[in-house]
Structure 1
Amino acid sequence: MSWQTFLIACSIVAIIEGIGPMLFPRRWQNYMQQMSSQAPGQLQQIGGVLVITGAVSLFFLI
């Protein structure tokens, strides 16, 4: 994998992550407040599920 591919992937992630706050700022604020009130262990589980889902998806797409 080249640096250019890595930077393209990071750029796509930034675009996708920015869509929510750009289009729905109030909903995004509410979402962030709800997330910040979660227990750290629960956030860790959510993050783990997202990482595993992304890794498995990437494995099947490549």
Structure 2
Amino acid sequence: MLDALWLAGALVLILEGLLPLLRPRQWRRVFEQALQLSDGQLRFIGLCSVLAGLLWVAALWR
């Protein structure tokens, strides 16, 4: 179980690093746009991300 968590963390780092590695200018623009969002908008994006991840895990768990 712990190995799966470490693997999941490693995969997150890989996926998070792809855009700045491959498209640094686009990543910078996206990051600058994210800074313009309100706290409520960021929380909504975070909530949607968590829910999507939970649904993905639930679909794979079967």
For 1:56, the equivalent position in structure 2 comes to 55
Give the letter aligned to residue 15 of structure 2: I
SS at match of 1:38: coil
Distance in 2 of aligned mates of 1:37 and 1:11: 29
Gaps of 5+ in 1: none
Match of 1:21 in 2: 20
Query: Structure 1 residue 9: deviation in Å?
Result: 0.8
Percent identity at matched positions? 31
* Residue 4, structure 1, aligned to residue 9, structure 2: no
Matches within 5 A, 1:25-40: 25-40=24-39
What's the RMSD between the two structures over aligned residues? 0.7
Q: Which runs of 5+ in 2 are unaligned?
A: none
- Misfit runs of 4+, over 6 Å: none
